[in-house]
Chains A and B, each alone.
Chain A
Amino acid sequence: MTLSISLTVNGQPRAIALDDPRVTLLDLLRERLHLSGTKKGCDRGQCGACTVLVDGRRINACLSLAATLDGASVTTIEGLAEGEALHPVQAAFIACDGFQCGYCTPGQIMSAVGLISEGHAGDDAERVRELMSGNLCRCGAYKGITEAVLQAQREMTAETGRDAA
């Protein structure tokens, strides 16, 4: 049976005819919409490589059946930069060397964007570490990741402050 769903993907409304209800959001993005920036590391919610934002919240795309997301708005790593201008989290990951092989990086960055918008970590490195623990990095770039999240958050806070002023 074919299921019709509508999704907004990185700001673009998409009408999607799902050929199979088994398709996860992750496989929809990667194999059908050709948005391969979101990565598959475990396919079981155990690594965080597939982290995307759904309606602004970070989730594991591998455990989300696409059919359940009718009407949702999805943001992936491809939707973060504005043209050539990197999102502050992306820039901070480069500056702090918050990755090595880069495979977990899209998930780390989307998770970090989610973390910052949730606003529960403050400037406490330990809270950042805990709240980024759903994203495994086998290369062991955790130190740079933690520094990048804190740095990006500081920049985003400062920017918001400037905008308000």
Chain B
Amino acid sequence: MSPDAIPMSTGRYGSNAGQPLTRRDGVLKVTGRATYAADNTPDGLLYAVTAVSTIARGRVAFLDVAAAEAHPGVVAVMTPANRPPLFHDPEEKMPPFGFRVEVLQDDGVRYVNQPIALVVAETLEAATEAAVLLAPRYAAEPARTDRASGERYAPPAVGVGGSPRTAHGDLDAGFARAARIVAAEYETPAQYHNAMEPHAVVAAWDGDKVTIDMPNQAMALSCAAYGAYFGIPAENVVIRSPFLGGGFGSKAILNGPQLLAILAARQLGRPVKLALSRAQMYGPVGHRGQTWQSLRLGVDEDGRLTALHHHSLSATSSFDDFLEPAANAALPLYASPAILVEHEGLRLDTGTPGPMRAPGEASGSAALEIAIDEAAEACGMDPLVFRLANYAETEPGSGRPFSSKALRECYAEGAKRFGWSKRPLQPRQMRDKNGFLLGWGMGTAVFPCPHFPASARATLRADGSALIETAGADMGQGAWTALAQIGAEALGLDPDQVEFHSGLSTLPDGGVAGGSGHTASAGLALHEAGIDAIARLTELALNDPASPLYGAGNIGVTARNGRLHRRDDEARSEAYADILTRAGAREVVGTAKSARDPAVAAAHAMYSHGAVFAEVTIDPDLGQIRATRLVGAFAAGRIINPLTVRSQYYGGMIWGASFALHEEAVTDHRTGRIMNADLAEYHVPVNADVPSLEAILVPEDDAYVNPIGVKGVGEIGVTGTVGAIANAIWHATGVRVRRFPVRIEDFLAV
């Protein structure tokens, strides 16, 4: 099935009780009928494969184009020498999320796995081998990929336009009056998104219009960007992204290989498919940049913070800026009268980092939550008691109220479920029945609530059903289901009566699926479009003398179960279908273009919160670690679908475990090559790594975050968890780990 839009069937499989609806796209996904970009094979398809650099810096001196062209089935070899022109300079960034794009603009090499040529052939096998036959030779320069060789600089911004430095209060005075100062350094490695679906594209041109099948977290921005690169209006670009095989931030930003494949399709006049190999994903499609963080905490006699200083040296590429805003983790969480967060940049010969699930929040939280644990230890306090003693009632620094903050309840619920009160204060106190060391640790989870402008359309049809539309993206978070629930609710219909179209750029802009803000952003648009549709329907009824609702203008009506009811007399009601039929209308259409109210946003600090409790079991002799139990309690405003929200928390917590125990790109700094650019040696957790997970949904009402009260759930689970596991490791062994991932040999001396 190659849909123009996702025709989410109105039927669904599974439970219909309460709100935890099973996924509307479930049947498609379990039958193999959900179509991901690379699943498309239009007639006349050609296959493109990039050749990538094996050096980190220098120049491509020679490519054996003749050998590649001679391979049977090869149609074209694109190199810097013959790459067709683009209409926008790839060196020039395109705001707001634009990066310098690597599209064969020169023979320079700036990182390993940079595309240096594109081979197009009649078969995948031919294109793959011909790319090898290019056998590049280089004029190489020394790689600068470690802390010592990279150039340090003062970055203009961190993350996406964030301030590199924020200060509140008098830091020196805070440290001066501290009874204790805890200071330490922490190191987090380069990590790669490694979505299960490699970045893929199938591009087909028709004159100056192009249809692009690709996984995409930001369709409207991408259409505009592709339009600029190809010199065509944005509306001539149609992106179909019905399903993303995982995104985690890596599919929100344009990248060179996909752009080159679209370019090749135009040049050759035939559809072109390109899918990156797993190894090729370790370069041009972003990663979580390395950080070296230092934290300094001043604490008074009562265990209250007097000063908090968080500094992050964050790595980026030699030619572009994306820095993990790691130190910002210290801003929203703990009540310190003085806080300074600072970032410094480090230029390395790597691909440019990018947002990766909880960018900055994850690596910053990893360091901060250990530092907090170290401070609690220094004070002889239970880590939960310490956190409660430093609970921020208002946003530290600004003093703004939180739009809502049920963190105290998260601590309480999580601790109770986990059994935290039985935790001995000192480390190395617990063993399991096999004599293995047990440790318990905790971390606070926090994630901001961004809101993206989004549009939607809601159509009530004369048959009583409805169609709701927004160009959203479901990369697994459950958007198709939750958004349909929101739309259905606004329309006063059961989700089964609502057809939902999404994942297609010609639909109203659904905003960016990132920053854990998609359900809130696209959801608000659907909510308001639904309200608009109901308002238009109401107008039809109120002006129709034949309607039982006639003349109820000032009293108003409510929409419920497919009927409008007079507010003052529930018995006087009429079905949508009847109103439309009598009016001779096939449908009534509501639209909305939604954004957050800037005044409300300025007046409030908006965050999701949570508390994560971890148990680790460690073989005392052999050092092997297992995170044997994870309990997270999260408060994220109104929960639209508890089933899919829980799954998001589980996923985030597993990412936290992975950050703590497994993930790391290993670079040979002599060459800058990543020596584990695969899935056998770049370890992500397997099923057996995660024996016990629980996620508690802590109730929270938020009247300010947005009119539907929804906060984000997609990334918060990573935060808190990394620190909780590291702290549990300390509790089990007495060893403080400050470098991730934790390794077997860290415990051999224990």
Contact = CB atoms under 8 A, between A and B. Distances in A.
Interface of A: 19-20, 22-23, 27, 30-31, 34-44, 46-47, 49, 76-78, 80-81, 86, 90-91, 93-95, 97, 99-106, 109, 125-126, 128-130, 132-146
A144 B647 CA distance: 8
B685 interface: yes
A40 B198 contact: yes
A103 B678 contact: no
Contacts of B41: 30-31, 34, 36
B32 A78 contact: yes
Nearest to A127: B688
Contact of A80 (B29, B31, B245): B31
A99 B15 CA distance: 16
Contacts of A43: 277-278
B650 A140 contact: yes
Contact of B246 (A81, A90, A128, A138): A138
B617 interface: no
Given A90-B30, A93-B30, 8 more contacts: A23-B125, A36-B32, A37-B39, A91-B30, A100-B644, A103-B197, A142-B650, A142-B693
Contacts of A126: 688, 691
B250 to A, nearest CB: 11
B150 interface: no
Interface stretch (B20-28, B74-82, B231-239, B372-380): B20-28
B197 A39 contact: yes
Given A102-B476, A136-B196, A36 B35 contact: yes
19 contacts: A20-B123, A30-B39, A38-B32, A39-B196, A42-B679, A44-B680, A46-B679, A47-B196, A47-B278, A90-B31, A94-B22, A100-B647, A102-B476, A103-B245, A109-B30, A132-B687, A136-B686, A139-B651, A143-B650
Given A102-B243, A139-B651, A141-B651, A81 B25 contact: no
Interface stretch (B452-460, B501-509, B652-660): B652-660
Contacts of B247: 101
Interface in B197-217: 197-198
A101 B476 contact: yes
Interface string B626-659: 0000000000000000011011101111110000
A51 to B, nearest CB: 12
Contacts of A81: 31
A8 B379 CA distance: 69
B194 interface: yes
Given A39-B36, A42-B278, A143-B693, A94 B30 contact: yes
Q: How large is the interface on B (under 10, 10 to 19, 20 to 34, 35 or more residues)?
A: 35 or more
A28 to B, nearest CB: 11
Contacts of A23: 125
A135 B195 contact: no
Contacts of B23: 94, 97
A92 to B, nearest CB: 9
A134 to B, nearest CB: 8
Interface in B679-718: 679-680, 684-691, 693
B244 A101 contact: yes
B477 interface: yes
Contacts of A36: 32, 35-36, 38-41
A143 B40 CA distance: 31
Residue from the set B15, B23, B31, B685 with the largest chain A CB neighbour count within 10 Å: B31
A138 B31 contact: no
Interface centre among B123, B194, B278, B688 (most CB of A within 10 A): B688
Nearest to B717: A140
Contact of A139 (B243, B476, B688, B689): B476
B679 A95 contact: no
Query: At the interface, is chain B mostly helix, strand, loop or mixed?
Result: loop
A101 B31 contact: no
Contacts of A95: 14-15, 22
A80 to B, nearest CB: 7
Nearest to A130: B688
Given A20-B123, A27-B125, A101 B693 contact: no
A137 B196 contact: yes
A3 B239 CA distance: 38
A129 B27 contact: no
A130 B243 CA distance: 29
B275 interface: yes
Contacts of B648: 100
Contact of B123 (A19, A30, A143): A19
Contacts of B647: 97, 100, 139, 141, 144
B124 interface: yes
B17 to A, nearest CB: 12
A42 B276 CA distance: 10
Contacts of B30: 77, 86, 90-91, 93-94, 99, 105-106, 109
B31 A41 contact: no
A90 B35 CA distance: 17
Given A80-B31, A140-B655, A97 B643 contact: yes
Contacts of B650: 140-144
A97 to B, nearest CB: 5
Given A37-B32, A39-B36, A140 B277 contact: no
Interface in B385-424: none
B631 to A, nearest CB: 13
A101 B688 contact: no
B14 A101 contact: no
B31 A86 contact: yes
B33 interface: yes
A91 B15 CA distance: 11
Contacts of A30: 38-39, 41
Contacts of A41: 196-198, 278, 679
B686 A133 contact: yes
Nearest to A84: B27
Contacts of A128: 687
Contact of A100 (B15, B123, B278, B476): B476
A138 B33 CA distance: 20
Contact of B688 (A38, A77, A80, A133): A133
Given A86-B13, A102-B476, A138-B246, A42 B29 contact: no
A144 B646 CA distance: 10
